[in-house]
Structures are given as C-alpha cells and as structure tokens.
C-alpha cells in the first residue's frame, strides 16, 4: 500500500506533462510574381503583404515595420529588376568613368 502511495503521485505528475495542444495557425504570404521591379528601396507590396529583399533573401510582413518572417524559397521571384538602372543594375554610375575602365574599348581597337 505504501508503494502505491509513492507511485501514484509520480504517475500523476508524469501524465500531467503529456498535454496535447493545437499548433499555431501558419499563414504564408502569396507567392511573388515571376518578375519583381524595385524603385529606390527593396520593398514590394502585394495583396496586403509587404515583401523585403535583403542579401538574396526575402521576408514578408503585414506591416512595413515588421515583424518579418522568412518567405519560403518556392515563393521567390525568378527575376529582380531595379527601376532607373541599366541591365542588371551593376552599372549604377551611368558609365561616366568609361574612359578609366581598362576593359572599355576607348582606344579605337589598338592594344
């Protein structure tokens, strides 16, 4: 009987730790279009969500001030463009030092 009195509280404590709770509701923002075009800042707005692009990663939020969640890679766009930049955005200075560029053909083809 005394053994039963010791085991019963232990069983009650162990079973009390086995509580099943429902998981939080997971909401993922809609996928981005195939091509995303940015203005001056790396933010994009679509269907009630703000998307933020930083260092090759996308995040999304209902508010531009966050909190930000990671966007699944399956929702990433295929291409990113920047308004006001030529081509892929690497030539940001408008080619104004083209004569200082060693690869630019400014010598009329003489090498």
Please tell me the predicted confidence (pLDDT) of residue 105. 55
Better-predicted residue by pLDDT, 43 or 110? 43
Please tell me the predicted confidence (pLDDT) of residue 44. 96
Give the residue extent of every domain in the chain. 41-90
pTM of the full structure: 0.55
Summarised one tens digit per residue, pLDDT across range 77-107 is 999 999 987 655 454 445 555 555 555 555 5
Summarised one tens digit per residue, pLDDT across range 6-61 is 777 766 666 666 566 666 666 788 999 999 999 999 999 999 999 999 999 999 99
What CA–CA distance (Å, rounded) separates 49 from 66?
10
Task: Answer whether residue 109 shows pLDDT above 90.
Answer: no
Please tell me the predicted confidence (pLDDT) of residue 91. 47
Please tell me the predicted confidence (pLDDT) of residue 84. 82
Q: Give CA angle at 89 (108, 60), nearest 5°.
A: 170
Block residue for tokens 């730790």: 17
What CA–CA distance (Å, rounded) separates 92 from 105?
19
How confident is residue 3, by pLDDT bands cut at 50, 70 and 90?
A: confident
């Amino acid at each position: 009987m005394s053994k039963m009195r010791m085991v019963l509280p232990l069983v009650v404590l162990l079973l009390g730790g086995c509580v099943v709770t429902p998981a939080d509701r997971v909401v993922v923002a809609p996928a981005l279009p195939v091509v995303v075009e940015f203005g001056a800042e790396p933010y994009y707005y679509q269907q009630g969500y703000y998307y933020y692009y930083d260092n090759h990663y996308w995040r999304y939020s209902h508010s531009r001030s966050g909190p930000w969640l990671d966007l699944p890679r399956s929702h990433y766009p295929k291409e990113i463009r920047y308004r006001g930049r030529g081509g892929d955005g690497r030539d940001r200075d408008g080619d104004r030092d083209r004569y200082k560029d060693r690869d630019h053909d400014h010598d009329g083809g003489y090498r």
